[in-house]
Structure 1
Amino acid sequence: MLDILVTGGDGQLGRSLQRLGAVSPNRYHFTDRAQIDITDAEAVRAAVEATHASVIVNCAAYTAVDRAEEEPEAAELLNATAPGHLAAAAAHAGATLIHVSTDYVFDGRGNTPLAEEAPTAPLGVYGRTKLRGEQAVAASGCRAITIRTAWLYSEYGSNFLKTMLRLTAEREELRVVCDQTGTPTYAGDLALAIFSIIESGRYRGCEGLYHFSDEGVCSWYDFAAEIAAEAGRDACRIEPCRTADYPTRAVRPAYTVLDKTKIKRTFDLEIPHWRDSLRYCMERLAAQEQRQ
């Protein structure tokens, strides 16, 4: 029986993993910031030793992209320093670290799907700190699988899906950027991929850098329009706009479609299209509302 330590257990990905861990014959230890301060190296090492973890899954991150521009030290601690501590603890314990990173390590200036070896050039604090986290993990020498993902949403917490559901119910018109292209990723799909890697035992011998998002390509405008259509929010008109018309503190990459060839081949994964996963997630949300 394996012991798996999961940080960021109260986030979108962590909570999605909890659903899967509940049916595993292995022991999953879900933690959040109140239980382990992953910016404290000694606290991290103590937690790994106490749980006898063979696998560590780092779902924790500072993900407030705009706020990171004003709080670079906080973003650095959680996105760069903490992964280094987790990697060092994994190396000391002989464990494997599965670390989650982001498409924002790219500048988005291309127009073809990005493979793992594509040059990185983050545009803001969030992307730079996440890239330094990747580098800290690689430099540690521990056994590690780093997975970059993109546009994560779920039934849990705050995310683009929930924001659009709320706004399309409140407003008659919305403007959403149409010149940022990527792929929405249902957290449940990424959780299932990580769960499959762990449960199959393939986390050993397949270390490296991987990309994972759902299949397909769209803009934020396309994503918003699909959400509104699925929710039956015809009364709200959604208009496309350009990034220049909607300025934000942090600069977003324009194109971050990820090439998933490597992760699909290595781990025999079947990845659903983002529209199919969106429908599934919205069905779960509707079922939750009915139970309340």
Structure 2
Amino acid sequence: MRAADIAMYRAKARGGGQHCLFNADLAAEHQQKVETEKALTDAVQRDEFLLAFQPQMSLVTGEIVGSEALLRWNHPRDGLRLPMTFIPVAERTGVISELGDWVLGEVAATVGGWYRDGFRGRVAFNISPRQLDRPDFFTRMRQAFRDAGVPLSMIEAEFTETAAMEASDTVLAEIAALRADGATIAIDDFGTGYSNLARLRAMPLDRVKLDPSLIEDIETSDKARVIVQAVIHLIKGVECEVVAEAVETVAQADILRAMGCDTVQGFVFAHPMFEDEFLDWMRSADQGAAKSVA
């Protein structure tokens, strides 16, 4: 019966009218999810998570304009695991709220150390929809950065497109207050949800980050280029900066620059790095690496 249930849920995930047979691959996938759920519950207490930082480059000036803090799980058996392998499980089980608290505290502590050492780069980090459900979230967030001695001008709070569109008036007011006090506000993975354009225009926003799926074919597909150009035009219309993630080639960067994209992030000029490597890269680059694709 348990095997039949697993197959049924997989069939539902594929859409109505589908069927799915239980097999060894499905069993292994289910077991992986069960193990991940169990391990995630204790992973924060075991201090198994790390932050990597990926620089962001201006396509206008070639300068580094900030970075994004990216979560990594140093799994005791599997080694480093990327967010796509555990964030969906964390969201389903509710562990995402605890993970989000860890990221918030770690970003505050890390950026606080950088600030005291004279480094002034802005750092972006993701905020989950579950965190927005907590009435005290913004108070706790402000307190974390205040305690770490970090001015809000050094942080960029990223919200998913869906979370931003569904946010209550109370949450939007808190976001607006955060922005008024110096924080940069961004929508992440834009293009995967169903944005209300009037609501987008009214939101307190500075930057909109294109979902990587939008740009992966822009070198080879006319349709992809038409879509990306239209999305960039829309974002510019609401007076926001356009950021492209997962930019992997110079050709992609050149196309995006011609379309009016402001900033890129991706392997085209820098991979995600743990703190020591990131700081060394920032000290030694002197913008040379960035200007090679500018």
TM-score (norm 1): 0.32
Rg larger for? 2
User: Which one has the bigger helix percentage?
Assistant: 2
Relative contact order (alpha carbons < 8 A, sep ≥ 6): 1 or 2 greater?
1
TM-score (norm 2): 0.32
